[in-house]
Structure 1
Amino acid sequence: MMESLSHLAFVIIDYLKQRRSDVINAKIVLAVAASLIAVVVIKKIVDFCLWYRYYTKLMKRVPGPEDTHWLYGNLHLLTDKHSDQLKLGQELTAKFPRMYKFWIGPFNATVVLNHPETIKQILTHADPKSKGFGGAYRHVYPWLGEGLLLADGKRWSRARRLLTPAFHFNILKPYVNIYNKATDQLLRKFESYAERGVSFDLIKEMSLCTLDILLQCIFSMETNCQERESEYVQYVLKLGEIWSKRNRKLWLFPDIIFYNTKLGRQFKDHCDKVHKIAEDIIKNRQQEIDQLDGMSERPYLDFLDLLLQAKDEDGNKLTKSEIRNEVDTFLFEGHDTTASSISWLLYLLAQHPDYQQKVQEELDSIWANKATEWTQWEDLLHFEYLTMCLKESLRDSSTVPLIQRLVQREMTIDGKVFPQNTLFTIAINSVHHNPAVWKNPEEYRPERFSRENNSIDNFSYIPFSAGPRNCIGQNFALNEEKVIISRVLRHFSVKLDPNFTVEKKIGPVLKAEGGIRVFVTKRNV
């Protein structure tokens, strides 16, 4: 009804523009139009006030931090000092071990869930990611588009069905050679650091190595990015950095403000450039396929090959924009996350040399019967202790600290009713450090994941999320991590630089402020 009145008002205004001669009638009609617009505006204000009253009444039933600013909500608690952000999460989890509210500005709040019993009710459904005002994913949408990470409903279901075959073990198996080849280059750099006796940033080196791997697995593209800087690499890294900054600054949430800042203009420029590079590669590959009348004779199918071949149940292929969105999404999700995971594991093993030695002893026993220095597909099943250390590292230093969902139905959690479109934040890092869930959660103890300890709840340990929207590429990532870690620790021991303090940096991906500086020493193997 109100939409019809609003439309009528604007039709009348258009009519006035065409009949300017009739001044008297124009004044009458203009007055009517103004009245109708006023009715629409007043109705919307009243509706908003009623909604806000209901919303605040609802949120009062949910516990949360008392220090709430009238404009910023609780965002002012997220200082630029990353150790303070981590401490805040730990304090709120200790005080509210199941859920709490966190205001994002004056009108929006998210309900933070940090216990397996509360998050299970969200993750068992394929609810969409949050792309509205205050949602963590809204600001990355111009970059990733409707890829698998951000797609909703039927679009997500179709994309998931089409992409699942790309992560079948028959497809993943040949990638092991790509992992090894890139790791060869990484080890040569490690050897140089060892010979010179200098420390280096572990995250930087791992980031270049995992990006090298991804570019080959996605595009069959050899950029030599581990040795020389690539513009594409720099664009991708900067986009992630800008996204993280924007998520913490309320005044940058409105697009009209953000895109008129230097940061916003840079974000748009880098999005355009990354999209152009991906589109050119896709176009050239399609031309290559057309000329060869089919796929080339490479020893493996890359991600782009599989996307170009994919068809849904109606025989429809992915559009060029859909392919680009999936490529950008896979690159974003599989690059920084894997580099971070490897770096934090090596950091923790450097902190606990006894665990590092156990991993190396396991590797030495496996390699005693091997004729090649490369890690092979069959070896991955035998990395029992390494896998325990990796799983515990993913718990201790959750690569993706949080995810969000916008529920599409009314839900009752812990006796509290939440309406449709409530924004929930699954605090993965908080779940993994919740003392109500884990005994001595701040202690790094790989034995938590031994074969004997098989009582861990599926929703207590969620480094790759859980349920229908879990990470589709988790096996790809774990295989890659095991290959790199096994070969690094087979040839080197890792020690922390005592002159450098490591500080965790909370963002879309868990990193370290200033990196993780380590020394490596060559082993006699």
Structure 2
Amino acid sequence: MPQLSLSWLGLGPVAASPWLLLLLVGASWLLARIRAWTYTFYDNLRHLQCFPQPPKQNWFWGHLGLVTSTEQGMRVVTQLVANYPQGFVNWMGPVMPLVTLCHPDMVRTVLSASAAIAPKDMILSRFLKPWLGDGLLLSGGDKWSRHRRMLTPAFHFNILKSYVRIFNDSVNIMHAKWKRLTSEGSAHLDMFEHISLMTLDSLQKCVFSFDSNCQEKPSEYISAVLELSALVTKQHQQIILHMDFLYHLTSDGRRFRRICRLVHDFTDAIIQERCRTLPDQGLDDLLKAKAKVKTLDCIDVLLLAKDEDGKELSDEDIQAEADTFMFGGHDTTASGLSWVLYNLARHPEHQERCRQEVRELLREREPEEIEWDDLAQLPFLTMCIKESLRLHPPTMGISRCCTQDIVLPDGRVIPKGVICIISIFGTHHNPSVCPDPEVYDPFCFDPENIKER
């Protein structure tokens, strides 16, 4: 039998069995991987030394827990941006660096890079995957490009115009509920809760043509969407549960899977019912007829969508996009609207000017409802909304994973493989961009002031 010399390990000649050879190959591969990772880590460390970094919590946890999803966490971000207005590095544990950018000049470089160079980072978004599938929010590459082209008609003005009536109806329901509650003696209302139900009501009507009456009575689907959002946020905050196999063993993980099935069953039932009720003339003829009377919902658009080769979306793709619309639309919109009302309440002079602007527009109109063309006739209200979105952006940041070195305008390099955080909140609160970033000033968005930026 062939003899294998292992003198380099301090061992004598041994029989060269296949298992021993396999063990040696595996050990060599592992050592090579460790060596390559170590070289990459220290090379990245060298590039990142030119970025400032705040003091670490400790050597092992790095900056974990420094920024939380609380008011105090937002104060920390504001202070970090004041100290490091171009950007900084923070560490998720001892070996995972994140480059946070908070200045438009720096942000522009990353966001203008192609999707191949700076694709979406899935580390923070993957918790949504079991719920949203490969919808626009989570997909990438060719699939994202194909679906984005196919879904463009869903955002055409002629379709969006018809939704204004739906928005008005949903808001009228909310107003009527507020009047009833105040007449019954309620002195306080949780604005965000009510506005969340209003946006979910609107979205169900726009996406599914489904009226759940969720503003007046409990809806199992709406409760499921709200709970899924809360569970995703909770998992993100518990780093040890980032490992799926551990999360699935917890009560939250089991609950998450059950609710996902409920939401998917609802969406699938809507899709199948829509297909079963198609008349004999076929899908295309039906959707074209509905388009003429402007009653298309998102399911219609998804069923109608075809790519350049005439290929349609699968039922799974339609489900993923519909679920993405529901998730992406309700919470962000509710947050934005709630902060607008909050900021106007804190500044009665701006609130009164907005009220007079709307009253002037609706003078002698019956019923007193905003129409699509009115949106361009409310310049001061638009300024107030934009300033509120600057001060309190519904999405705090987005992330990109650099697949190759990205050179910033000042010559610094974000190394290949490093995750880059685009801090939307930080950019909006950057004193080098906005002189008084904590002050609510709608005139920041006056057309004359915008020209100077």
TM-score normalized by structure 1?
0.78
* 1:214–1:335 contact (8 Å) kept in structure 2: yes
In the alignment, the residues of structure 1 paired with residue 278 and residue 112 of structure 2 have an alpha-carbon distance, to the nearest angstrom, of 40
Which residue number in structure 1 is paired with residue 6 of structure 2? none
Cα 1:456–1:396 change in 2 (3 A) is farther
Name the SS of the counterpart of 1:102 in structure 2: strand
Instruction: Out of 166-175 and 64-73, give the one that drifted further.
Output: 64-73
Which residue number in structure 2 is paired with residue 344 of structure 1? 339
Which residue number in structure 1 is paired with residue 442 of structure 2? 446
* 1:206–1:343 contact (8 Å) kept in structure 2: yes
Shift of 1:384: 1.4
Which residue number in structure 1 is paired with residue 319 of structure 2? 324
In the alignment, the residues of structure 1 paired with residue 222 and residue 192 of structure 2 have an alpha-carbon distance, to the nearest angstrom, of 15
Shift of 1:418: 2.2
Shift of 1:79: 4.9
Which residue number in structure 1 is paired with residue 356 of structure 2? 361
How well do the aligned residues superpose, as a CA RMSD in angstroms? 1.9
Q: Deviations over 1:74-119 (max 9, x none)?
A: 1132357x12211110111011101111212222121111000000
Shift of 1:378: 2.1
In the alignment, the residues of structure 1 paired with residue 427 and residue 49 of structure 2 have an alpha-carbon distance, to the nearest angstrom, of 23
Q: Give identity over the alignment, percent.
A: 36
Shift of 1:137: 1.1
* 2:67–2:74 contact (8 Å) kept in structure 1: no
Q: Deviations over 1:248-276 (max 9, x none)?
A: 22212222222222222222222222122
**Which runs of structure 2 are paired with 1:172-183 in the superposition (5 Å)?**
172-183=160-171
Cα 1:275–1:70 change in 2 (3 A) is farther
In the alignment, the residues of structure 2 paired with residue 365 and residue 345 of structure 1 have an alpha-carbon distance, to the nearest angstrom, of 21
Cα 1:38–1:421 change in 2 (3 A) is closer
Shift of 1:54: 1.9
* 2:391–2:428 contact (8 Å) kept in structure 1: yes
* 2:47–2:415 contact (8 Å) kept in structure 1: no
Shift of 1:49: 2.0
Shift of 1:48: 2.1
* 2:68–2:74 contact (8 Å) kept in structure 1: no
Query: Among residues 89, 107, 112, which one is paired with 2:77 in the alignment?
Result: 89
- Is residue 279 from structure 1 mapped to residue 265 from structure 2 by the alignment? no
In the alignment, the residues of structure 2 paired with residue 291 and residue 65 of structure 1 have an alpha-carbon distance, to the nearest angstrom, of 66
Which residue number in structure 2 is paired with residue 384 of structure 1? 379
Cα 1:346–1:274 change in 2 (3 A) is same
* 2:121–2:399 contact (8 Å) kept in structure 1: yes
* 1:114–1:426 contact (8 Å) kept in structure 2: yes
Cα 1:366–1:311 change in 2 (3 A) is same
In the alignment, the residues of structure 1 paired with residue 450 and residue 20 of structure 2 have an alpha-carbon distance, to the nearest angstrom, of 74
In the alignment, the residues of structure 1 paired with residue 126 and residue 318 of structure 2 have an alpha-carbon distance, to the nearest angstrom, of 20
Which residue number in structure 2 is paired with residue 237 of structure 1? 226
In the alignment, the residues of structure 2 paired with residue 286 and residue 218 of structure 1 have an alpha-carbon distance, to the nearest angstrom, of 15
**Which runs of structure 2 are paired with 1:387-426 in the superposition (5 Å)?**
387-413=382-408, 414-426=410-422
- Is residue 129 from structure 1 mapped to residue 120 from structure 2 by the alignment? yes
* 1:183–1:209 contact (8 Å) kept in structure 2: yes
Q: Deviations over 1:284-329 (max 9, x none)?
A: 1122226563327665100000000000001100111111111111
Name the SS of the counterpart of 1:76 in structure 2: coil
Query: Among residues 125, 143, 146, which one is paired with 1:158 in the alignment?
Result: 146
- Is residue 76 from structure 1 mapped to residue 65 from structure 2 by the alignment? yes
In the alignment, the residues of structure 2 paired with residue 69 and residue 230 of structure 1 have an alpha-carbon distance, to the nearest angstrom, of 46
Which residue number in structure 2 is paired with residue 511 of structure 1? none
Unpaired segments ≥5 residues, structure 1: 1-25, 458-525
Which residue number in structure 1 is paired with residue 365 of structure 2? 370
Q: Which amino acid aligns with 2:64?
A: L
Q: Which amino acid aligns with 1:377?
A: W
TM-score normalized by structure 2?
0.90
Q: Which amino acid aligns with 1:186?
A: M
